Amino acid sequence: MSLPLHFPLVLAAALFALGAYAVVARRNGVLVLMGVELMLNAVNLNLVSFWAYLRDSLLAGQVFALFVVAVAAAEVGVGLAIVILLFRTRETASFEEADLFRW
């Protein structure tokens, strides 16, 4: 039982592209964070595919993917705190109206 290596790679590319669309096109901060999660999952899928291809004894791909999951948890925690702070100061969760630094 085997799988061509480029199948999961193309799937990860599609997942990454969908996440990038959400990051650029969505207004709501929480929806932007969801797009970032999709992109991180695409990267993890790549890491795991290459681990499954190489089967190295250090399991580097899997361990890197675990670290990415931990960093993603930190990212979503801080990101949601920022969105909540934005909502408290500007009465909106839309990144379009977060323009304090724009001139």
Query: In the range 15-54, which residues lie near other proteins by CB under 8 A?
Result: 15-31, 33-35, 37-38, 41, 44-45, 48-49, 51-53
Residue 100 binds other proteins, judged by CB under 8 A: no
DSSP state of 17: H
Mapping DSSP to helix (H, G, I), strand (E, B) and coil, where does residue 59 land? coil
Residue 92 one-letter amino acid? T
Q: Residue 13 and residue 46: Cα distance in Å, rounded?
A: 9
Residue 89 binds other proteins, judged by CB under 8 A: no
Q: Would you call 96 exposed, middle or buried from its count of C-beta atoms within 10 A (0-12, 13-18, 19+)?
A: exposed
Residue 98 binds other proteins, judged by CB under 8 A: no
Question: Which tokens is 43 given?
Answer: 């990267």
Closer to other proteins at the Cβ: 80 or 103? 80
Choose which of 14, 43, 99, 100 interacts with other proteins (CB under 8 A): 14
Query: In the range 62-81, which residues lie near other proteins by CB under 8 A?
Result: 62-63, 65-67, 69-78, 80-81
